Structure 1
Amino acid sequence: MHTALALHWQVGPILPWLDLFGIAVFAITGALAATGRGQTLVTATFFALITGVGGGSVRDLLIGVPVFWVHDPLVAGVCLGVALLVWWTPVRWWQGAALAWLDAIGLAAYGVFGAAKALDFGVPPIPAALMGVITACVGGIIRDVLAGEPSILMRPELYVTAAALAAGSHVVLVALGVPPNFAAPSAAIAGFALRAAAIHWRIALPAYGRAR
């Protein structure tokens, strides 16, 4: 049976760092969602954990493997650490568009790792890309629901599309024979670039009824 640490060795040295980076960034957005509403450190820590591991947990349950963060000694500590970071640092560090940009970075990194892990466990290419999208998006959906915010799925600008580009690009590049160590950062950059463009220029897909 695979473990999270064994998987890290199999998919190469770049992907596990993308995984932890995506978890940390999403955990920061969760902590910010709590602190921005004047909540306690306990609430901020819970938001950080549930946002950081939510998408990956759903992915692992769908793939049928042990939930990654339960068997990884680093993940829960990373989420706790970033919650403490947000709690003890000046508010001005996290004002403005910090949440959106951090979320964009995590979206791309986590989408790639989710697709890579699905491929490693023998999931076919298209479902593997969808596992990447789930990995990247579900944590943010949980965060928004708990915070009483409109879900990321209901926002007009490109979001899920950027996750799909990151995950899908990785799957395609690997299928073409590109080594995962090169495919992963390339796909993550593509997903982040699309999300960054959507944030900056407010790019959105046509809404139902407006496309006709």
Structure 2
Amino acid sequence: MRSRARTIRLGAIAAALGLALAGLAAAAPASAATYTCASFSGLTVTADTVSRSPVSLNAGDVIRATVSPARDGDVIILSAAAGTSINFVEAPATTGLSWKAPVTGSYGLGWSLEASGTRPSSLTWSFTCTPASGSTATVSDSDRDGVANSSDACASTTLPDSTKKPVAGRYAAKSTGRFLDGTGAYSGYTVVDTGGCSALQIAKALNLGRTDLQSGITLTTLKNWAATH
């Protein structure tokens, strides 16, 4: 029964990841930045699941993920998509999961937790990445927003945005880097697409009004900023 349950669980994760990656590919602008090994060095995300795409890796790059809280029996599951194929890797949550890129290329990666009992209400994921050379990846993303310092348009980005009055049609960046409006609707953009800028930083840079500062920016503002950064 456990084997059958695991098969069903993996199938559900594959379907969910496939839809998520398809949505990202369709919505993201052509100039959207690509994640790299360095993007995971010191990355911490508070979310139920974590997905990144596209991730450009060299053969032998190793990404390690840990999750907190982690209890005996909990399992971390990684879904690694390359082209039309999806492979699954799993490891005990108490030890963490390390995955080595088998070939140089672009991947869609998604991490989830299979809880042995009641699922924690909040999960914090921590990542590191060691490049194929075996040396520690150079940390070039000081504010951990997924954009290297050399191409980051906004330094010291803090996620999530401190939106005091979220409303429909106004978008703010969450801890995952995605821009969602006050109803939870996804804009199709992340802070990687905006050059490492949160909604608050964009509003301040454009000298926008109080509504933009407190409730988030409009989709038009978000699109225009992403197109030029």
User: Would you call these one fold, judging by a TM-score over 0.5?
Assistant: no
Higher normalized helix content (fraction of residues): 1
Find the structure with the greater CA-based Rg.
Answer: 2
Q: Which has the higher contact order (CA 8 A, sep 6+)?
A: 1
